[in-house]
Amino acid sequence: MTTAFTAAALLTPLERLSDAVMLVEDGKIRALGPRSQISIPAKTRVVDYGKDVIAPGYLDLHIHGAAAHDVMSGTSLGLAAMEQFLASHGVTSYLPTTVSAPMETTLRTLENLAGAIEEAPSPGRARPLGIHLEGPFLSHARRGVHPPQDLVPPSLEAFERLWQAARGHIRLMTIAPELPGAIELIAAATKRGVTCAVGHSDASAEATCAAIAAGARHATHTFNAMRPLDHREPGILGIVLSDERLSADIIADGVHVAPSVVELFLSAKGAQRAVLITDATSATGMGDGRFRLGTFEVEVTGMRCMREGKLAGSVLTLDRAVCNVMSFAGLELEGAVRLATVNAARAVGVAAGELKPGADADFVVLTPAGEVVETICRGQAW
C-alpha cells in the first residue's frame, strides 16, 4: 500500500522543500518533492502533518543505553525497550556503544550486539546499524570513567578477537593515537571499513596527524576526555578543530561543553563535518537515581551523570541536542537537523540520514521549533 505524507516543509536535509509530499511504499521512499510536482495515485492513503516539518530520522553514533537498559547487558528485551525509547525521540538508527570492561565481557556483548544487527528490523523501532567500540584502546591519562584495569594496549591480536566476536559489525572505533601500536591498528582497521575516531586521548598534534595519515577520519566527543588546547602545542584538540579531513562529534547538553564552546566548535568544523551525539546511559529518561554503565554504577542528578566526581556519559536525547544547538549557536532547523542525520551517516559510511527515492522511510516529524511530533521507522509509526 502506498502512503503519501504531506507537510508544510520537508528537509532532505541537504535541501528544503516547501509544501512537500513524500510517497512511501513497503517501507521505502518512492518519490518526494513539492506537491505541484508529485502526483498522488488514486486510493493512496494520505497523512497530512499540516504546518509541521518532515526530516530524516536521527542517527546516534554514541549511545550506551537508555530507559533503564544498558548496551553492555546486550539482552534482546533491553535493546527493544531502548529502541522504542529512541524512536520516541526521533532516532531511527544508532550505533550501540561499548564501554571498557573485562575482555570476556566485551566479547560476549559484541556477540549479542552482532545478533541484534543481523535480525530483521522491527517495525516502529530504531535499529542498530553497527557497533561503536569505545575502549579498550584508550589513554589512561584521559580515560574518563573507563575502568583502568580494563584498558588494553592497541594490537592487531586484540582487535582481531573483538572483530571476530562482532562478526565484522564494528563500524566505529575510538582509539588514543599516541599509544604504542595505535597507528598500525588504525591503518588495519581502516582497511576493514571501520571508521577510526581519535578520542580519550592525551595525544600531541604530531601524533594526531600521524593517526590521520594512517586513516583516522573522526573525533569522539570533542573537548571531553581530550588533551586541552594550548597555543604553543595545540595537541589533539587543535588538530580536531582545524583539520578538514576529520569530522567530529560533540555532546551538546550544556553540561559537557559550555554553550559558547559548542558555538565555537560548530564554527570550526562547519556545516558538513560537525556531528551531534548523546553519549547517553541507561539513566536517560529515568530521572534522578543510580544506574548501570557497563560494569559500574553512575549517579544522576538533573542533567549530570557522575561517577567518582567525573562526568560519566549523559542523559541527553538527540532531539534535545538538535534544539540545543539552535539555541546555543542560532542555527536554523535545517542546519541543526543535518548534524544529527546526514553528517553522522557520512562520518561512518552508512546508508541513513537522508530522504531520497529508494531510501528507507525513516523520518521524524518536527514542529518548526524542532520538537518531535511523530517518528516513522521504515514506514511505520513508533
- In order of 290, 304, 333, 334, 362, the CA distances from 341 in angstroms are 31, 25, 12, 10, 11
C-alpha to C-alpha distance for 325 and 104, rounded to whole angstroms? 39
Strand pairing category for 28-34 and 58-63: unpaired
Contact call for residues 278 and 256 (beta carbons, < 8 A): no
All three cell numbers of 183? 597507528
Q: DSSP letter at 353?
A: S
- In order of 115, 233, 354, 381, the CA distances from 20 in angstroms are 38, 50, 15, 19
DSSP letter for each residue of 209-268: HHHHHHT--EESSTTTTBPPP-SSS-HHHHHHHH-TT-EEEEE-SSSSS-HHHHHHHHHH
Contact call for residues 146 and 138 (beta carbons, < 8 A): yes
201 in the Ramachandran plot: left (φ > 0), alpha (ψ -120 to 50) or beta?
beta
- Taking alpha carbons only, the member of 284, 292, 225 closest to residue 253 is 284
Q: Which residues are catalytic?
A: 279
